[in-house]
Structure 1
Amino acid sequence: MDSITIRQAAYYHPERVVHNDFYLNHFNSMGKDIERFLQVMGRERRYIADSEEENAFTMGLKAAQKVLLEAGLTGEDMDMIVFVSQTPEYTYPTNALLLHHKLQGKHRTITMDSNANCAGMVTSVEQTSRYMQSNPHVRYALVVGCDHSSIHCNPDDEITYPNFGDAAAAVILERSTDESKGFVDSLFYIDSEGSGNITFPACGLSNIYSKDVTPEQLRIRWIPFDGTVCVDAAINDIQELLARHELTIEDISAFCLSQFSLKNIELIQSGLAAPQEKFIYVGDEFGYTGTSSPFIAFQRGVEDGVIKRGDYVFFWSVGAGWQIPTMLFRY
């Protein structure tokens, strides 16, 4: 069977940088001290899209153009284009179709949008890899993930407003006859008990035109919960995949996990008894970018030389509710 490999990855972020001081002062004026919260989440700065011309689609497009250029490929080479977002600029036409148009894709291209909330890009890379394994006519697939979350946060909410940053990531998957690398395996863990904790828009899409809807009800509603509930699932699923493929922690070069919480990453690291240097963290620079965050961490690991060709890499993320994918790749 052919392998499905990562040919190239890239990311894009807006130019504007917002440091913690802005949010500390903002919430201090409301009588709220969020300093400890920012420490637990691991935040220092984040990139914020503040231009009317910049949104989830345009940021995703820039990441796509960058990854194609660096891979030496064009839009016409892509046999499949998947756009991943929980804050899409449009619900129709699909953002993947718009991406196809901007990249001048060919007629024989599969296009689709995908949404698994913050777990979306890990899920879509996994699903695209498995689809490519079953369809020999797909040689190259482009998966682009971007959330424009900052604009949808309630400025009075100390959980979401200082936590999110805006950025996009793009990955080109390639069919290869080299069986020594590529997609290895994956697991999904679903627990829907908390499915009502995070909603957007808070009022529901069918109510956005109601005269009684307030601006706050159009934004993200985040009911506080224990964010560490996903840690045990992460540890168990990573260990199960290791056992399934007769690997050990020592065989894994990097863990590219959701950048939602530094505390969660530290707990997963401790639970696996793995070296800290194997866990790539970029949430202090980017803030929490949602669906793109594991792949921004991955590409930063490649750029810094932490991840090299032939290395085993774990991808893991968690989406609202909970949707928890764990994926093992050999880069």
Structure 2
Amino acid sequence: MPAIIDAIEYALPARTESIEDLAARFPDWPLDQVIEKTGIRTRRIAADEECASDLGLTAAQLLLENSDTAVDDIDFLIFCTQTPDYLAPTTACLVQQRLGLGTHTGALDINLGCSGYIYSLGVAKALIESGQARRLLLITADTYSKFIDPDDRGVRALFGDAAAATLLSYHDDDDGGGDAPTIGPFIYGTDGSGGPELIVPSSGMRYPRPAAATQEYIDHRGNKRSAHKIVMNGRAVVEFTLREVPRAVWQVCDKGGITLDDVDAVVPHQASAIVLKGVRERLGLPDARFISCMEDIGNTVSCSIPIALKRAVLSGQIKPGALLLLVGFGVGLSWGATLVRLPLDFAPLATNEARHDEHLASEPV
């Protein structure tokens, strides 16, 4: 019985940071050029005490409420993040308790960023189709703002914080039609030689954070850096994306026995305007079939694909029953792509973006 996507919801933190806010901090910035390259005018930023699990909890609560799903129906939880509450314990275990899922629920973290949604879907599909889970909750949540030095102009205009929750289950419809909802096939790719191009050097055990790691320096572009903040080689990441992502799109089409003309829409990781424009042009796709929506939330890392998909359904750009091609790419360096046929009854449940802080009623560990 194939796995399908039943519903998606997302949550955003209350605090905003606009491009005008950054222009006030960096008065020598060529503001128009920054907007043109990033495509981002406003980003959502987590509060100082707000973690990925808090945002993920809110997204999951919205999903369960709006889809009329009981917590007892969930038998597996995947939490995909690169900004966990702790290195130990696993954030998924903490969210299982805070969300009120039963102790029969399996729970695990996936540490992957901009390609994380694709990889997590692959794991979810395998768990469901092998009979290990019947209804699975996938949460993606990242607070990359906590990795960013306030004076790093290279990345501060890009990354926003968010969470998304996706409900997956087995599909027991035996109609066998070509329009039946499905997930897959998948293609994956990894080039670990590019790991240093997007990295937080002092974030684990290889280079623990001694006092020296907090020493700040100014790079050749005038950005403030330190080993415990994120460092990105923007040029190298763009070159990697334009080389590998179009290839991944064509490969997954070949694996699925279709052409790109058969796909109703491509939903890519929302990296930046200049990156998405380059990918879209190499694929030869019109704007209407290439989903882009980052202007008011920024690059939300592992959450960008489900948020873009959800917003496109709400706006009518994606219809229930559509055949979609999802492609993620970034930190690792890592990439992945898959095909998703949405159910015909995939309902555009209204995400309540104003609900930011109800998770505070459930105290974090």
Q: Secondary structure at the match of 1:61?
A: helix
- 8 Å CA contact 1:169–1:292 kept in 2: the answer is yes
- 8 Å CA contact 1:75–1:100 kept in 2: the answer is no
| Residue 172 (structure 1) aligns with | 167
Q: Percent identity?
A: 25
Q: Does 1:261 align with 2:260?
A: no
What do residues 236-264 of structure 1 show as CA deviations (whole Å, max 9, x unaligned)?
A: 22122223333233321221111111222
Distance across 2 between alignment mates of 1:213 and 1:241: 42
- The one-letter amino acid of 1:159's match is G
TM-score, normalisation: structure 2: 0.84
Counterparts in 2 of 1:84 and 1:129: CA distance versus 1, 3 Å = same
- 8 Å CA contact 1:24–1:35 kept in 2: the answer is no
Q: Once superposed, what is the RMSD of the aligned Cα atoms?
A: 1.8
- 8 Å CA contact 1:203–1:213 kept in 2: the answer is no
* Structure 1 residue 301 displacement after superposition: 1.2
**More displaced stretch, 179-188 vs 143-152:** 179-188
What do residues 173-201 of structure 1 show as CA deviations (whole Å, max 9, x unaligned)?
A: 11012351121211012222211122224
| Residue 16 (structure 1) aligns with | 15
Q: Secondary structure at the match of 2:151?
A: coil
* Structure 1 residue 6 displacement after superposition: 0.5
| Residue 213 (structure 2) aligns with | 213
What do residues 124-181 of structure 1 show as CA deviations (whole Å, max 9, x unaligned)?
A: 11221122212x2411000001111112201121121121111111101110123511
- 8 Å CA contact 1:83–1:145 kept in 2: the answer is yes
- 8 Å CA contact 2:77–2:96 kept in 1: the answer is yes
| Residue 221 (structure 2) aligns with | none
Q: Does 1:116 align with 2:116?
A: no
Instruction: Count the aligned residue pairs.
Output: 326
Q: Does 1:59 align with 2:55?
A: yes
Question: Where does structure 2 lack aligned partners over 5 or more consecutive residues?
Answer: 216-225, 343-365
Q: Secondary structure at the match of 2:212?
A: coil
* Structure 1 residue 229 displacement after superposition: 2.0
- The one-letter amino acid of 2:120's match is S
| Residue 47 (structure 1) aligns with | 44
- The one-letter amino acid of 1:10's match is E
**More displaced stretch, 223-232 vs 84-93:** 223-232
| Residue 93 (structure 1) aligns with | 89
Q: Does 1:104 align with 2:100?
A: yes
Q: Does 1:241 align with 2:252?
A: yes
- 8 Å CA contact 2:135–2:167 kept in 1: the answer is yes
* Structure 1 residue 304 displacement after superposition: 1.2
* Structure 1 residue 56 displacement after superposition: 0.7
Distance across 2 between alignment mates of 1:175 and 1:237: 27
| Residue 230 (structure 1) aligns with | 241
- The one-letter amino acid of 1:153's match is I
Distance across 2 between alignment mates of 1:184 and 1:117: 20
| Residue 5 (structure 2) aligns with | 6
TM-score, normalisation: structure 1: 0.92
* Structure 1 residue 12 displacement after superposition: 0.4
- The one-letter amino acid of 2:24's match is N
Question: Where does structure 1 lack aligned partners over 5 or more consecutive residues?
Answer: none
- The one-letter amino acid of 1:40's match is K
- 8 Å CA contact 1:4–1:174 kept in 2: the answer is yes
* Structure 1 residue 13 displacement after superposition: 0.3
Q: Does 1:280 align with 2:276?
A: no
